[in-house]
Amino acid sequence: MVSPVVRRILSDGGVEAATLQGSGPGGSITRRDAERAVLNGPTEEIVVPLTNGRRRMGQHMSVSTQSTPHGFAAIEIDGTIFGELERVGRTTRDGVLISDEMVVSLAAVRALAEFEFLNATYRDGELTVHRTVNLGLTRHVEEDGMLVPVVHAAAGLTLRALARRVGGLDERLQSRQLTTDDLMGGTFTLVGAPSARTLFTEAHHHSARGGRAQRWSGASRARRGRGRGGAGH
């Protein structure tokens, strides 16, 4: 039996009485039970069927969390260069677009060359440093999540060459012509936009997320945020 007061509380909170185990006499649902249930939200569980893409995403993310130490760091950097790009133009003479993402990507690649222990994998009690920087960049793939195309051997590339390589990957992604090699071997991933859905074809070792740019006193600064799955992932 459920009293009218208890029934109204549950109805207003969107909780079904049948999902509760009452603490009153004979298992009846008391007002306290109802208020606690509404506070905690509905107790029903809904099983959501997964697409193949989301199932693979969950599997690969699980592997990533098992093989990569996780941490968090946030820093603020001088982003004056973004304003300079707007002033001089973002397209090179040969038609290559220099986006903010490319500038951040080049900065990440150069930083990894200096702090190579961040371009590493922890496994079986040992840290393996990867001397080659293979940069992954997250890209949307319809509703199933994201893919991470990889720019291999990115450390020696100029800004223009890096933008050209990424442009080629984006073209193959749009035309569904990415190969397995395009998606494998990433050692560091740059997450360009907030997302909880990234489909790694294999465990990428570290990631960083670029945030927003803000302008103070005539100077533009870019705020770097946390990485996908945790910075240091």
Residue-wise pLDDT for 183-230, tens only, equals 888 888 888 654 433 333 444 555 555 544 444 333 333 333 333 333
Beta-carbon contacts of 98 under 8 Å, excluding residues fewer than 6 positions away, are 85, 90, 91, 92, 159, 160, 163
41 Rama sector, left if φ>0, alpha if ψ -120 to 50, beta otherwise: left
Residue 49, pLDDT score: 77
pLDDT digits (tens, 9 = 90+) for 34-87: 888 877 765 555 666 777 777 777 777 777 766 666 677 777 878 788 888 888
Residue 223, pLDDT score: 36
- Identity (one letter) of the amino acid at 87? R
Residue 7, pLDDT score: 85
Domains of the chain are 4-40 (4.10.320), 52-225 (3.30.559.10)
